[in-house]
Amino acid sequence: MRTAIVGATGAVGQTMLSILEQRDFPVSELRLMASERSAGRKVSTVWGEIEIEDLAEADPSGIEVALFSAGGDRSREFAPRFAGAGAVVVDNSSAFRMEPSVPLVVAGVNDAAAADRPDGIIANPNCTTMALLMAVGPLHRVARVRSVVATSYQSVSGSGMQGVNELLRQTDALRPNPEALQSGGWSDPGSSVYRRPIGFNVLPFAGSEKDGGYTDEEWKLVNETRKILDAPEILVEPTCVRVPVVVGHGIAATLRFDRPVDVSEAVAALEQAPGVAVWQHVPPTPLDSAGIDDVLVGRIRGTVGEPGGLNLWVVGDNLRKGAALNAVQLAELVAAEG
């Protein structure tokens, strides 16, 4: 397929390129696009050396599938133009996720939805929703989920390289004086990405504040979960937390169903689910998830207060399955249509 990556110089765009190569995606021609400041740079790929084009000047004619990871504003501006020229756009931003005419798809959970795309656009869910739904989706097929209480522990790479750089800078600034960290005598290292220091710290606030004191990250968990599972009645209670981890989002979730589900039934369903690895004897961590395709699920336990539900822990690489890998998997679904 004649393929384009839009936002090719960003962390997710670069990961998209490496995954296309690793999965031997059927590329007949590859085009890489980014902002004007990156235009003209050349990138070595398995399909040869490719010069990055200025997105604003690029002609989308002939492109069959375009993987977008250029931010919401650029997606809103350019994705309809690419789709209008005949490309299927797989968009990683939040721009189109809640549009009724745009399918929101987690590969391996609701694949069939990708085929119904009247606007020529398929949306990638938020990275936290993506990891959570890899576990919730298979269980929802076993017994319908009626409620989810989800607390996410989101790595700083969810904020891009600026988040990673802020964590590393603040860690270096705070490390020389561990006594101050214990006594409260630490000096603020200065924060530009987050409202409070992230170095040696945990921020109970990921995203930007929206309605009712909840953040946009938290509302994404609510609304995207309902859309992906085609279950608007599901009750979702979200809390999104930023943690001093470079890569890998974790989610602690409590699920309640329309009938009791025990641990053995849940483990059996998850072990058969594509893209999921069950770590029931060793708790999975973000370090375990970094750089791998599978979403890891562990600490699967029956609920205590109201028996019949499940508590579990989910962790996934937010740059891979949480973004780039899922986008490529959606492109593979398009390619398989023939």
- Name the CATH code of domain 2-124+324-336 (choices 3.40.630.10, 3.30.70.920, 3.40.50.720, 3.40.50.300): 3.40.50.720
Q: Is 336 exposed, middle or buried (0-12, 13-18, 19+ CB in 10 A)?
A: exposed
Give me the chain's average pLDDT, please. Answer: 96
Common-topology check for domains 2-124+324-336 and 129-161+192-318? no
pLDDT tens digit sequence for 49-64: 999 999 999 999 999 9
- Type of residue numbered 45: T
Residues 295-317, mean pLDDT to the nearest whole number: 97
pLDDT tens readout for residues 167-194: 999 999 999 999 999 999 999 999 999 9
Percent of the chain clearing pLDDT 90 (strictly above): 95
Cα distances (angstroms) measured from residue 11 to each of 65, 198, 275? 20, 20, 22
**Which pLDDT score, from 0 to 100, does residue 302 have?**
98
* Range 200-223 average pLDDT: 94
Which token pair is 33?
A: 């696009």
- Domain boundaries in the chain? 2-124+324-336, 129-161+192-318
For position 284, what pLDDT does the model report? 98
Helix (H, G, I), strand (E, B) or coil at 33: strand
Q: Is the pLDDT assigned to residue 338 strictly greater than 80?
A: no
Q: Which CATH topology does 129-161+192-318 take?
A: Dihydrodipicolinate Reductase; domain 2 (3.30.360)
Active-site positions? 127, 249
What's residue 263's pLDDT?
97
The answer to whether the predicted template modeling score (pTM) of the entire model surpasses 0.85 is yes
Partners of 198 in the beta sheet?
A: none
How crowded is residue 159: how many other Cβ atoms within 10 Å of its Cβ?
19
The one-character DSSP state at 142 is: H
Which DSSP string corresponds to 204-238?
Answer: S--S-B-GGG-BHHHHHHHHHHHHHTT-TT-EEEE
The pLDDT tens digits for 73-131 are 999 999 999 999 999 999 999 999 999 999 999 999 999 999 999 999 999 999 999 99
pLDDT bin (cut points 50, 70, 90) of residue 33 is: very high
Decide the pairing of beta strands 65-68 and 145-154.
unpaired
Whole-number Cα distances in Å, 20 to 27, 68, 248, 328: 8, 14, 21, 7
Residue 211 banded pLDDT, cuts 50, 70, 90: confident
* pLDDT at 238 (0 to 100): 98
